[in-house]
Structure 1
Amino acid sequence: RARAPPCWRGAARRVRTLKRGARREGASAARLAGMGASVEEVRLRVGGMTCAACSAACERAILGASPAVGGAAASAVSGDAVATLLEGEPATEEVQRAIVQAIQDAGFEASVAGANGSVGGQRGAGGGPARAEGCNGAAAGGAEAKARFVVTGMTCAACSASVENALRKLDGVTRAVVSATTEQAEVSYDPRAIEPAALREAILNCGFGAEAAIEIGERMVDLEVKGMSCASCSSAVEGALLRVHGVEDAQVNLLAGAAHVAYDPALTGVRDIVAAVAEAGFEARPAAAGGMGGDVADERTKGEVQMWWTLFRRSCLFTLPAFVVTSICPHIPAAHRLLDDHVGPFRLHSVLMFIFATPVQFWVGMRFHTGAIKALRNRAANMDVLVSLGTNASYFYSVFAVIYGAFTSFQDTDFFETSAMLITFILLGKYLEALAKGRTSDAIRKLLQLTPDLATLLELDKDGSVLSEKEIDAALVQANDVLRVGPGGRVPCDGVVIHGQSHVDESMLTGESMPVAKGVGSEVTGGTLNGHGALRVRASRVGADAVLSQIVRLVERAQLSKAPVQAFADVVSSIFVPVVVSLSLITFSVWMLAGVEGLYPDDWRPKGTDSFLFSLLFAISVVVIACPCALGLATPTAVMVGTGVGATHGILIKGGEALEMAHRVTAITFDKTGTLTRGRPSVEVFEEHAMLAHDPSLTRERVLALVGAAEGSSEHPLASAIVNFCRREVAGRSMAKLGVENFEAVPGRGVKCDVDGTTMLVGSPAFLQLEGVNMERAQQFVSECARFARTPIVAACNGVFVAAFGMADPIKPDASAVVSGLEKLGIEVHMITGDNRATAEAVAYAAGIDPSNVRAEVLPGGKAGIVADLKAKGHVVAMVGDGVNDAPALAAADIGVAIGAGADIAMEAASFVLMRDALSDVLTAIDLSRTTFKRIRINYVWAMGYNVFMIPIAAGVLYPCWRLRLPPMLAGAAMACSSVSVVCSSLALRWYRPPKVLASVRSGPDAMHRVDGSALADAVLTDELLDDEHGSDSSVSAFGEREDAPLIQNGQATASSARWGALAPV
């Protein structure tokens, strides 16, 4: 897509900041650190600026025009300039004339376009205007801002290290992370001390390209605008955009035919913005479909591949004839004689080789030489230095030999072909490496392709009837739009079903193979595939807020981050080139000394070479065979592929550090409710009291209706389960007619209220006992619940016990298999729960967890303490929870795993976010981490082993015994292949398959059965859910006694009898 020149983008960003402040007035000032007095700005039209140097000169002129000027920004392409005045300084005509005169004195044309005030805030530290927002929307005024750049030209870890070091040396920079693999840099900085333009300049000074990256989370859109022919056209488009309610800023570039718009998604959307341009008489469309920047990254990858391919073809254009002259013609007598002829003082062979090698060396290979110069200028050394050193040594020696031999008796043995073929082989390797590296981001590319190009927009009347429908670009969908999703179509964005029923395939996002049923009220996710039904969906989250956008953003940031093991490669890479050059000099010195001293026979040297040339060939081979790239690519490529593979299986990994730490986990702790169990309690057993027979008005249906109405005012999960049970039993006929008065929820106990003139008490047995209800007849039921790990909920009408409910929370079917799989990996499995001991051990038995690893009766705040205790014992701890009340424990653990996150993928406390509510994904996450780091070890073994073994061979250690040596051209080919092999090794992770988990749940030796006779082996107690109205102190029994106190004195089992291996009736 068309992009504005960097000089315009940097200046336009500054202009945009000031304009945004002017429009937002007080709101902008509130964002800045400290509420300063309002300032005014003068907007100008400046002619004659052609580049960034011009705009900088204009800015300097404005700053020196008047003491009232506090800041300036100018754009060479748009011809705009803004002068920001100091606090309290008015934009008088005198000041405006002074500014215009200063610009004209600098050699430009200038006129005042307008002046306005109320740019709330204070000036920056540098005297310029305070930035209302930092790059990518980070707040300024004391808050840390973040900037992201696309950095091109990096080839290895040494390159990224040199950029990092340059950025970290800048005043105001607090953190810098650079990845050569993703070609991105993320910088945290103080916007009062430094601006993004200075950060970009530092990267450029390192010899690499840099452009500001468009963050997926930004509320911005780039438009392609057609039909503009002059400055008035661009002004008309900009004016139309700025008049749209909700547009915060708009910048139009006439030359590029593009517009950059910042907007508030709560007030407007892309479709309204495009419509405004159309009303102005121009055609506009989003520059990147979906607005997620995927096309830009894809074009960048394709551009890199195309660049290396073009350079390789150009190199072959000269290298192939050179190869023919050097390797084929000597075997053809006529050609050999012709090449021995002289052209002046020079042999024809030498002249031809000079003609073929020079373009390769200084035209095709100039990229390596300029990169080496810039690296050395920044006191860094990378692969470019080695390539430039090796090829220049061979080329200039050949030039010297030819010239010197032409006028002396010296035999002019040249090897121009060595430098040419070195560059050719390296370019081929770089081309193959770029192809392979492009495949490492396939996961993100596939995710981006899930969103359909078109969406069907419906226009409804007040009754919900369809008035019209039309197809629009999916990028134009706005919040609250009603869309039709036909059978077999993809959902354009996140939304809620308002009409229709179907099954939706969510496997591409969550890894869930079975389609999920969707009906009215169900949430659907953009990019998922609809089944056979037709759905009408109201858009809820679009653009950057959509789940798919969040996933892509999270994966991209994870791929940018470094794993701690990468530090080893960074250290080695920082000294790699100096060490290799030193080894090369040692190799040359040893062979040269041996030749001079006659320590080896003359027949060791190839025909036509002397000791100097013989030694130089070994030295050049050492330089060009060494490969820092393979070492630098070993970790980031594996992390990129690993995080991408995780995303395709619904496992989102927040960075390389989390991925590395997960493979070292030795202990894993599970929360119980909602993690090991389904977290959805249900009524397993219902018992009505015999007292009902003595009161004809209290029929079974009447009691259930009263209980259901009482619980209907509670929001507790157990209450919801009882309401659903009562509604199902009485078919909801009488519940809706009953009025509820004087409702009171007693935390940790239950509820009491008046329902249709009847005083109702519903809650734990202890609660009813405290309220004066005689609970003697409930003891048998409570005892049975305790023995079989159920939660008893009892009800009383007018002070008389009438009914009891046995509540259970089914354990997940794959819990036992997952626990077994984790133990086979050598990981201790623990469980932490707030439930009582009986409940906890019942769950542990069903899941196969050792009872000694069960921590029961733990408050939410105490879970983090238990995690800390495990860490103190030397364990690397992972905590698995559903995120409801596990945030402290998730944060305290080395690895926090949030399970069943669904659309809430941005949990800060979690290192791993599992989209599905499936325990098997925990096992997959650990296994994927171990597989990825096994691959990283293989990569390091290959990269280190390659250099350790190949450098000595290139230095000639095998030559004395077997006459084996590596000519420089073969050494270059081997070096190129080493990087490709490491990337291909990482790509092997794409074939990762998760371990298979078979659903199985252990049953007790005498599993209790439901009323209908079905087994209750998968049902467990859910006292942990009793943290509100129905909660109970886990240390207190149903009647207020200690848990180890007997509930019944007639030989029945106590609550404490439900222990490991003692689930059968006593």
Structure 2
Amino acid sequence: MSEQRTVRIDVGGMTCANCAATIEDAVSDLDGAAATANYATDEATVEYDPEHVSLSEVFDAVESAGYDPIAETVTVGITGMTCANCSATIEDAVGGLPGVVSVDANYATDEATVRYAPSVTTREEIDDAVEDAGYEPIRDEGDDDGESAKDAARAAELRRQRRLTLFGAALAAPLLAMLALELFAPGTLPEELPGTGLPLGWVAFALATPVQVVLGREFYVNSYKALVVNRRANMDVLIALGSSTAYGYSVIALLGVLPRAGLYFDTAALILVFITLGNYLEARSKSQAGEAIRSLLELEADTATVIHEDGTEEEVPVDEIAVGDRLKVRPGERVPTDGVVREGESAVDESMVTGESVPVRKEPGDEVIGSTVNENGVLVVEATKVGEETAIQQIVKRVKEAQSRQPEIQNLADRISAYFVPAVIANALLWGAVWYVAPEALAGLVSALPLWGLAAGGPAAVGVTEFAVLVFASAVLIACPCALGLATPAATMVGTSIGAQHGVLFEGGDVLERVRDTDAVVFDKTGTLTRGEMTLTDAVPISPAPDGAVPAGEDELEPTDEAERAAGAEYAEGLGDATERLLAAAATAERGSEHPIAEAVVAGARERGVEPAELQVLQNVSGKGIRARTEHGTVVVGKPELLREEEVAPEPGLERMRELESEGKTAMLVALDGELLGVLAVADEVRESAVTAVEALHERGIVVHMITGDNERTARAVADRVGIEPGNVRAGVLPEDKADAVEAIQSDGSRAMMVGDGINDAPALAAAFVGVAIGSGTDVAIEAADVTLMRSDPEDVVKAINVSEGTLAKIKQNLFWALGYNTAMIPLASLGLLQPALAAAAMAFSSVSVLANSMAFRSYDPDERYRLLRRFR
């Protein structure tokens, strides 16, 4: 029977006893869990059986009930991991702590991401658990030079592996020379070292023993920890077995215990040198893979020029900037932090953050992103975000989080790795025993193979026992679980970095995988396919013409007599007054709203010389319009159904409204004190890149949909311009109904990607298979989205799919190589076709090749295909 655990967690959001009861009920619904919540202390005491329910499920239950269990997430740098089994060991060790909610150790990035309840477990206990498992946590946050502790540890490890490799190579070089002479010029080696009388066997022992002690020490220590402390075999066990078998057998033979037995000191030394060289190249590749993040951080400015209230200027370190400070940015300087332009005009190069290749024009009121470069003109910027809140810091945070969450395909590698090392050892013992028991039968079967004899000339040449030992050592060494463990995280690390460099931020490696699997893309219209910058285009008053008058534009016939001419002039003058009245009423009502349409109406009225009056009360009617009490009276602006609710007949304006909507404009009716005043229309320009994006998605066979709260005619006009099929347009959808619309699209099994602004569209983003938030450059921490696009450009949706496809292709290449390597090499070693030294070299090469394949992916350009597409459009 498993032991019950009791933990106390802090919970936010409780306001009364009912809240406490809700939490207790939610936890009690879990099998094997119960809770006692206290809203006065904002705590819950949870008792649970870890065999039936995890702490993560408890936290999820509390969150689902609408409350906030307090947890912290920390990334722990770790040195000493050598394969995926090491990652699993750390996850088991840290996950066993009572307050740990989840833990994800990543062998490729040398770190573990841990979510834990600080009221139960401390960071120090997490570090201790890592250390107790046999690995070294990086406890310090940084050093005096400002370099991160993780980067410092990685650099130190790189130097250590280089020193070990050079030391081992220096001693192994004479052994390699002797081996080459023996292989290619048999009989030329003397039995003794010339001039010393020292047998060559003892010379080989003297050269190989320091290698065994210095290079082999960490493999033996790590093997002991893996087998004795953690009861789990890892790659170090295979290396220790292979090298110690060759070395131990040679020592026994040198002492005369095994007459006529050969010496394999060269093999024992070369095994360790090749593996250490592989570790060095692996550490070097890991360091290069993290360069994208480091290069982003290096873009940050070191100092800033602060303008004080008295007009004086002072240069200060960037970390001393406070929100609200005014900063002067001269041409060629980096913008110190996120902010808003208050004075000046310039072009700013944002390519390093958003991927936008063309400098963006900035003027007062525009947002700027920290670390971007001011091209020309002096800007005065007011700081709005500093420190860890800046866009570039958020980007780095998102990329690191993405790299810690692996795709589902990684589960395959993890499942294989869990059983791989024991299976390899069992296989080596089996074939070693078979060669010892039936050498002649096996030799007869495999002697026809072209590689026969590479191990040592077969049992007939070296003896049955010796050949069986060689087969065991080779079969152990040839297997490489590290290549399998590196295949997915190495490619994911590069793929997420490529995305960040091109303004595409993935929430995690699992999201990176899902993006490729989408077969439908759902665009929100306003601000996504269109620019989201509304302008007032039409103001049409509804006023009956006096008898005999001919309203302009309604009839091309000239008036036939003086009476008709006079009536027409009077009507035209009245029409001007009616337009002013229409604009004044609408602008006054809309001035209290922050909606883009409202802002366009107010701005358009002022451009026409009409100033809004005082607004008294404003009521927003979701999806229909607004009601307002103003100096002019009660104003209603919106759709026909809203006017009908106010007992205003919309029919006189419907004809003109339909005409405007057929032009792709958004039209609305305006009424004052029960009287219909007229029709207003605003337009939102369609993005040119939206056409290319939709075309590119169609080329891939992806179905494109559009959802909008706009009316049917306006929606269809925009859809027609960008190339979306009329049947895939959903118009008049209220914000709260967008999630239902997305679910309806997915009801036939489609995997939909919803693309929206991340605020009004949050429920729809969460409901979609993949949620994509189009950002504004500075707002990159959108919780509801799986992917954030730094630019407001629908073409970046295609870019995200390209990065996803490229990364998954690279992962599959890596897995194919890792699995194919073992599939081919283990049988060769088991059949006695490889020497142990060659097996060790092949083992090291397999890991390096997987990393090299991932590093080659760094040059991938997700834009290239669509540059060609735009060229030929």
TM-score by length of 1: 0.68
Partner of 1:208: 135
Deviation at 1:648, TM superposition (A): 0.6
| 1:66-105 equivalent positions in 2, closer than 5 A | none
Question: Residue 843 of structure 1: CA displacement?
Answer: 2.8
Q: Per the alignment, in what secondary structure is the counterpart of residue 718 of structure 2?
A: helix
Q: 1:159 and 2:8 equivalent? A: no
Verify the 8 A CA contact 1:708 1:727 in the aligned structure 2: no
Report the CA distance shift for 1:480/1:722 in structure 2 as closer, same or farther (over 3 A).
closer
Paired with 1:742 and 1:145, the residues of 2 have a C-alpha distance of 46
SS at match of 2:255: helix
C-alpha spacing 1:193/1:766, structure 2 compared with 1 (3 Å):
closer
- What's the counterpart of residue 382 of structure 1? 234
Look up the match of 1:907.
Answer: 782
Match of 1:971 among 817, 827, 839: 839
Task: Establish whether residue 625 from structure 1 lines up as the match of residue 502 from structure 2.
Answer: no
Q: CA deviation at 1:628?
A: 0.4
| Residues 201, 745 of structure 1: alpha-carbon distance in 2 compared, 3 angstrom cutoff | closer
Displacement of 1:869: 3.6
* Counterpart residue number, 2:419: 575
Contact 1:151 1:211 in 2 (8 A): yes
Distance of aligned partners of 1:750 and 1:647 in 2 relative to their CA distance in 1, 3 Å threshold: same
Question: Which one of the candidate residues 914, 918, 935 is aligned to 2:810?
Answer: 935
1:721 to 589, 594, 600: 600
SS class of match (1:562): coil
Measure the CA separation in 2 of the matches of 1:306 and 1:604.
39
Residue 307, structure 1, aligned to residue 160, structure 2: yes
Counterpart selection for 1:517 from 347, 361, 372: 361
Using the alignment, how far apart are the partners of 2:414 and 2:103 within structure 1?
14
1:717 CA drift (Å)? 2.5
1:213 to 1:711, Cα distance in 2 relative to 1, 3 A: farther
* Residues 835-914 of structure 1 mapped to structure 2, 5 A cutoff: 835-914=710-789
Q: Indicate which of 269, 294, 310 corresponds to 1:445.
A: 294
Shift, 1:742, TM fit: 5.2
Alignment of 1:167-206 (within 5 A): 167-206=94-133
Asked if 2 retains the 8 angstrom alpha-carbon contact of 1:683 and 1:807, the reply is yes
Instruction: Tell me whether 1:338 sits opposite 2:338 in the alignment.
Output: no
What are the equivalent positions in structure 2 for 1:394-543 lying under 5 Å apart? 394-404=246-256, 410-461=259-310, 465=311, 467-470=312-315, 472-543=316-387
- For the Cα contact (< 8 Å) 2:650–2:669, is it kept in 1? no
Aligned counterparts of 2:261 and 2:378: Cα–Cα separation in 1: 81
Kindly state the Cα deviation for residue 947 of structure 1 after the two structures are TM-superposed: 0.5
Give 1:481 shift.
3.0
Alpha-carbon distance in structure 1 between the residues aligned to 2:649 and 2:421 = 86
> How big is each residue's C-alpha offset from its partner over 1:874-903, in whole Å with a ceiling of 9 and x where there is no partner?
222221111232111111112111113432
Which letter maps to 2:481? Answer: P
Q: Is the 8 A contact 1:740 1:753 kept in 2?
A: no
Q: Secondary structure at the match of 1:814?
A: helix
Distance 1:741 1:306, change over 3 A: closer
1:740 to 606, 614, 619: 614
Offset at residue 458 of structure 1 (A): 3.2
Judging changes above 3 Å, is the alpha-carbon distance between structure 1 residues 699 and 837 closer, same or farther for their aligned structure 2 residues? closer
- Equivalent positions of 1:67-146 (< 5 A) are 143-146=70-73
Q: CA RMSD in A?
A: 3.6
Q: Which amino acid aligns with 1:981?
A: S
User: Is structure 2 residue 277 aligned with structure 1 residue 350?
Assistant: no
Greater relative CO, 1 or 2 (CA 8 Å, sep 6+): 2
User: How far is the alpha carbon of 1:555 from its aligned partner?
Assistant: 0.7
In structure 2, C-alpha distance between the alignment counterparts of 1:608 and 1:750, rounded to whole Å = 96
Measured in 2, the distance between the counterparts of 1:354 and 1:172 equals: 52
Task: For 2:679 and 2:868, locate their aligned partners in 1 and report how far apart those are by CA, in whole Å.
Answer: 32
Asked if structure 2 preserves the Cα contact closer than 8 Å seen for 1:707 and 1:762, the reply is: no
Q: Within 5 Å, which residues of 2 pair with 1:942-981? A: 942-956=817-831, 965-981=833-849
Q: Unaligned 5+ residue runs, structure 1?
A: 1-28, 36-119, 126-140, 215-221, 225-286, 289-293, 960-964, 1002-1066
Residue in 1 aligned with 2:3?
A: none
Residue 781 (structure 1) aligned to one of 656, 662, 666: 656
Q: Does 1:693 align with 2:570?
A: yes
Question: TM (normalized to structure 2)?
Answer: 0.82
Q: Aligned partner of 1:650: which letter?
A: G
C-alpha distance in 2, partners of 1:448/1:914?
Answer: 19
Please report how far the alpha carbon of residue 493 of structure 1 lies from its aligned counterpart in structure 2 after TM superposition: 1.3
> Partners in 2 of 1:122 and 1:825 — Cα distance?
52
Q: 1:979 corresponds to which letter in structure 2? A: S
Which consecutive unaligned segments of at least 5 residues does structure 2 have?
Answer: 1-9, 17-40, 47-67, 448-452, 546-568
Provide closer, same or farther for how the CA distance between residues 34 and 860 of structure 1 changes in structure 2, counting only shifts above 3 A: closer
- Report the equivalent of 1:555: 399
Change (3 A) 1:991 1:609: same
Partner of 2:244: 392
In structure 2, do the counterparts of structure 1 residues 205 and 595 end up closer, same or farther at CA, with 3 Å as the change threshold?
same
Bigger mean CA deviation after superposition, 843-852 or 648-657: 843-852
Q: Partner residue of 2:588?
A: 710
Task: Describe the superposition over 1:488-509 as per-residue Cα deviations: whole angstroms up to 9, x where unpaired.
Answer: 1111111222322211111111
CA distance, structure 1, for counterparts of residue 89 and residue 387 of structure 2: 35
| 2-structure distance, mates of 1:685, 1:564 | 53
CA drift of 1:435 comes to 1.2
Distance 2:187 2:443 in 1: 37
The amino acid of 1:740's aligned partner reads E
Q: CA deviation at 1:622?
A: 1.4
Kindly indicate whether residue 519 of structure 2 is the aligned counterpart of residue 642 of structure 1: no
Q: Which amino acid aligns with 1:721?
A: A
Is 1:149–1:213's contact at 8 Å kept on the other side of the alignment?
no
Matched to 1:320, the amino acid is: A
Task: Describe the SS at the equivalent of 1:530.
Answer: strand
Residue of structure 2 in register with 1:1033 after alignment: none
| CA displacement, residues 474-522 of structure 1 (integer Å, 9 cap, x when unaligned) | 3333333332211111111112223222111111111111212222232
**How far, CA to CA, are the matches of 1:742 and 1:211 in structure 2?**
60
Look up the SS of the partner of 2:857 in the other structure: helix
Q: Deviations over 1:344-368 (max 9, x none)?
A: xxx6111111111111001122111
Distance of 1:151 and 1:32 partners within structure 2: 35
The C-alpha deviation readout for 1:657-700, integer Å capped at 9, x for no partner, is 11111111122222222222222322333445675934857746
**Letter matched to residue 336 of structure 1:** P
Distance across 2 between alignment mates of 1:759 and 1:837:
28
The one-letter code of the counterpart of 1:726 is A
Deviation, 1:153, is: 0.7
In the alignment, the residues of structure 2 paired with residue 800 and residue 33 of structure 1 have an alpha-carbon distance, to the nearest angstrom, of 49
Q: Does the Cα contact within 8 Å between 2:11 and 2:43 map onto a contact in 1?
A: no
Partner of 1:657: 510
* Residue matched to 1:82: none
Measure how far apart 1:596 and its partner are: 6.5
**What amino acid is the match of 2:426?**
S
What letter corresponds to residue 495 of structure 2 in structure 1? Answer: G
What is the CA-CA distance between 1:310 and the residue it aligns to? 0.9
In 1, are the aligned partners of 2:399 and 2:500 still within 8 Å (CA)?
yes
Q: Secondary structure at the match of 1:904?
A: coil
Q: Is the 8 A contact 1:714 1:720 kept in 2?
A: no
Secondary structure in 2 matching 1:429: helix
Q: Deviations over 1:833-881 (max 9, x none)?
A: 3333333333332222223333333333332223334444222222111
The amino acid that maps onto 1:669 is: V
1:393 aligned partner, one-letter code = T
- The alpha-carbon deviation at position 299 of structure 1 amounts to 2.3
